[in-house]
Structure 1
Amino acid sequence: MHAKSPTGTKNGGISFWYDDLGGVPAYRKPLPGDIEADVCIVGAGFTGLWTAYYLKLARPELSVAVIEMEFAGFGASGRNGGWCTGSFAWNREKYLRTGSRAGLIEFERQLRGTVDEIVRVTEQEAINADIHRTELLTFACSAAQMQRLRDEYEQDMAWGVPRDRLELIGPAKAKARIEVKDAVGALVARGVARIQPAKLVRGLVMAVERMGVKIYEQTTVTKIEAGCVTTDRGIVKADRIVRATEGFTHGIPGNEREWVPLNSAIVVTEPVPETLWNQIGWDGAELLGDARHAYCYAQRTRGNRIAMGGRGIPYRFGSKTDQWGRTQSATIDQLKTILHRMLPQTQSLKIDHAWCGVLGVPRDWCATVGLDAETGIAWAGGYVGIGVSTSNMAGRTLADLLLGEETERTALPWVNRRPRKWEPEPLRWIGIHSMYWLYHMADRYEAQAGGTSTSLLAKIANRISGR
């Protein structure tokens, strides 16, 4: 399940977040055989659990069964970086192909509200997820990175993002917040929160079970078709079915090229002593990112550790996934390099834990939610690594669609989008690895060149990837 590296770093075991809870949970019972339900949800992560929650909230009489391959929260929901941002990776032009400008502005407005909604539910359901309202600081450490932040800020302002939501700050103010090496400025996003993801997902599990939702673990789905979910433990017959499998969608026959599972990995330091915090700052427990093409993400945890994440090896041939979060030694070394590059004060800190997981990426890099009215099969995902708050929005939207209700959510431009499938192997592997190689080279070139223009290499990578 996990191993210790020569340096004493725990590798795998799902994630540090479960160690913080005392270990991974005991399994619930598997599907006992053939059953019937009003709604069958495949996948017990954030998307599946939020969908079940809002369905039962609206219609307590519904019978809802959730089928999970391992245990609830096994995937990205229990392994992510703990960013609850009320946003995700935007490509507005692509969403405009299926919606209007007004619809897209409304979509962003509703997404921003997901942070308040998640906080509201955790308070109502007495879920302690270490939620801390804070700000997201995206640092620029070169002139080209700072120009990208300016461009992003101006675009967001042109699209009507509230002015009190975003602020560009210069090097002095940025370094006064967090002492990031070579910082030339930062983009501040307000209205976000830090969470402990495993605590949130375990709390949701208990909440939906109190509402009468049945969760069957250790049950592998082998086929999804109209009115029927086939598993290795039996068959579930249901008029409505939800595919909420995100980065594991490729494992269901017929969905091998729907979304690719890209890898992301995280390292967590030992607790940081107060003397070191005095050098670093980070007093507001802000979320921390950077404007490099090879993006990183970090948080200061409740226990005063630093959790730093990034891509590592981005993709395994044939869409293969990890074994219980175990990652490569080279990935751990890369993440340590990123941590020490941004915060050289941390070089003496020991890395206590490292792990990885997969996230679902559609071919156009745009999240989607929908329902096929003919088959009764619904889906949501493709969050491209920013799914903590987006999954809440997806759960509410799916509940509306499944109940046949027309709401302000069901008319949004991500509903019923169908991007084309990914290329077959080996083209998929070659394309994805070429993309990330180009991004790394672009970051290196921009750091050396010193200009304000984004590298042509990154633009080529964007074209290859469809981002």
Structure 2
Amino acid sequence: MIASNYWAESAAATGGDAGRLRPPPTADLDVDVCIVGGGLTGLWTAYYLARLDPALSIAILEKETVGFGASGRNGGWCSALFPRSAASLERAYGFERAVAMRRAMVDTVTEVGRVTAAESIDCDFVQGGTITYATNELQVESARADVDEAKRFGVDALEYWDFDPAHAHYAGRGHPVGARAAAFDPACARLHPAKLVHGLAQVVESLGVRIFEHTEVTSWLPNFVNFRGHQVSPGSEAIAAPGVVATNQIVIATEAYGSQLPGVGRRILPLYSLMIATEPLSDEFWESAGLEHGNTFSDYRHLLIYGQRTADNRFAFGGRGARYHWGSSIHPSYDQVERVFSHLAETLIELFPDAADAEVTHRWGGPIGVPRDWHASASHNPKTGVSFAGGYVGDGLSTTNLAGRTLSELITGHHTELTCLPWVNHLSPRWEPEPLRFIGANLGLTSASLADHEERMTGRSSITARLLGPLTGH
């Protein structure tokens, strides 16, 4: 069993951009746009800015390497999911604006597929949809409710699949042991996130964007970004070289890692999500499991799980359950939690017993960014020239693309349907100071697990889950 990121390892094995070094700046910079963060938010923003206005000079500063954070560690779901539900958006903004947000998210899946094809980014993109299994009567009710709600908003094309042979033709399809039904959402693609991020980095560089790695941003003010470059040579210690970027526009695209920066801090909370990958499995196994290439899957438990069939026939499977760490701290050791990895392996076998003998070959994790109200945002202040996008709560693989398109239009002064979406310029409240933040975040994780246990024991909808719902964007 390897304690490493399958995505990073397999991307590096294919060669290309994954092993490329991009040194820090050797002098101060003067650019039109300075993007802080070399993940998908920063890269997509740079891509669309360069396409809208090729004359712009753009620099990306990344503390580690391109795709180091959630962009290169996630579950590989390019989905139409948004952290806040359509019903929650309707309560806050009205029916029409909720519909507009849903339509934008569904269109974003198509847009990612369009760009990866047009730019020849080989990232295993296959739009096979998401299957969300229901394993008991309460979950069956949830699946039916999701399909009914989707019909009411008229955007998402959810289908209800009944696995009972007496009720529907979907009964002939393979599915996990114990699954009674499922909701199927076609607006999701399976992809390889590390291949996407490295492929996109190559594309933006071909458009003239400069990317500097090992370049830590320490602070910023309107028109200035202070950085510290870390030069690392084999056999030598790191040398920190300070510098300044003079710029008209600053984009903060740091997601969970913004919690470490004074300009973001308690606006975002880093919450860990962990993953495992198995050895490749046979085509016969996948046929019996009912998972085709392009499929992603989950179920209706409250403690979130997510999985996909990879292009090389592995399970890539993840979920929540790792605790929040005091003071919003982030550390490589937090990526490895034996208890959570064991839970993921047990859950995978619970869903697919025929995978019991499959070797788990990789284990990894990392932090996702959670705003206090579970509401992602794409914001731009024309007075200061500072923009921000993030708070995706794990739904960022596609939402980063929408953020990039939206920020590029806001920065260049365009007024479009995207710049009128309800997430534009949304300001989430700050998280509470410690110890309230520590208590609340970990209580939320415990409550999700308790809610699942409560429903298994009672067969009734969890009171805990109903209390938790408004706090998690439902």
* Aligned partner (choices 356, 364, 370) of residue 355 of structure 1: 364
Secondary structure of 2:46's match?
A: helix
Instruction: Count the aligned residue pairs.
Output: 453
2:37 is aligned to: 43
Counterparts of 1:90 and 1:175, CA distance in 2: 32
SS at match of 1:446: helix
In structure 2, the CA distance between the partners of 1:311 and 1:444, relative to structure 1 (3 Å rule), is same
Contact 2:129 2:188 in 1 (8 A): yes
CA shift, 1:37, in A, is 0.5
Deviations, residues 94-121 of structure 1 (Å, cap 9, x unaligned): 5457644222212211221112211111
Distance 1:176 1:381, change over 3 A: farther
Instruction: Look up the SS of the partner of 1:11 in the other structure.
Output: coil
- 8 Å Cα contact 1:363-1:466 kept in structure 2: no
Flag the structure with higher helix content. Answer: 2
Equivalent residue number for residue 6 of structure 1: none
Paired position in structure 1 for 2:7: 17
CA distance in 2, matches of 1:329, 1:314: 12
Secondary structure of residue in 1 paired with 2:397:
coil
Residue 192 of structure 1 pairs with residue 176 of structure 2: no
Q: Which residue of 62, 73, 76 maps to 1:68?
A: 62
User: Does structure 1 residue 460 correspond to structure 2 residue 460?
Assistant: no
Q: What is the Cα deviation at residue 178 of structure 1? A: 4.1
- Contact kept in structure 1, 2:323 and 2:445, CA below 8 Å: yes
Give the secondary structure class of the aligned counterpart of 1:180. Answer: coil
Counterparts of 1:180-329 in structure 2 under 5 Å?
A: 180-232=176-228, 233-323=242-332, 326-329=335-338
Q: Write the deviation string for residues 344-373 of structure 1: whole angstroms up to 9, x where unpaired.
A: 111111100010011111111011001112
State the AA in 2 paired with 1:58. Answer: L
- Provide runs of 4+ in structure 1 moved above 6 Å: none
Structure 2: how far apart are the matches of 1:128 and 1:324? 31
Give CA-to-partner distance per residue, 1:196-244, whole Å, 9 cap, x none: 1111111100000000000011011111221111111311111110001
Write the deviation string for residues 21-42 of structure 1: whole angstroms up to 9, x where unpaired: 2355243111223111000000
TM-score, normalised to structure 2, is 0.91
CA–CA separation in structure 1 for the residues paired with 2:226 and 2:183: 48
Residues 317 and 429 in structure 1, CA contact (< 8 A), matched pair in contact too: yes
Which residue in 2 is equivalent to 1:4? none
Q: What letter matches 1:44 in structure 2?
A: G
CA–CA distance in structure 1, aligned partners of residues 473 and 384 of structure 2: 29
Distance 1:450 1:156 in 2: 25
2:162 corresponds in structure 1 to 170
Q: Does structure 1 residue 114 correspond to structure 2 residue 108?
A: yes
Distance in 2, matches of 1:37 and 1:140, equals 52
User: Equivalent residues in 2 for 1:414-429 (5 A)?
Assistant: 414-429=423-438
State the one-letter code of the partner of 2:58: V
- For the aligned residue pairs, the C-alpha RMSD in angstroms reads 1.8
SS of residue matched to 2:3: strand
Where 1:389 maps in the other structure, the secondary structure is helix
2:175 maps to a residue whose letter is E
AA at the equivalent of 2:181: G
Contact in 2 for aligned 1:135/1:193 (Cα 8 Å): yes
Distance 1:150 1:97 in 2: 21
Equivalent residue, structure 1, for 2:175:
179
Q: Identity rate of aligned residues, in percent?
A: 38
**Shift of residue 126 of structure 1?**
1.0
Tell me if structure 1 keeps the 8 A contact 2:273–2:320. yes
CA distance in structure 2 between the partners assigned to 1:80 and 1:338 by the alignment = 18
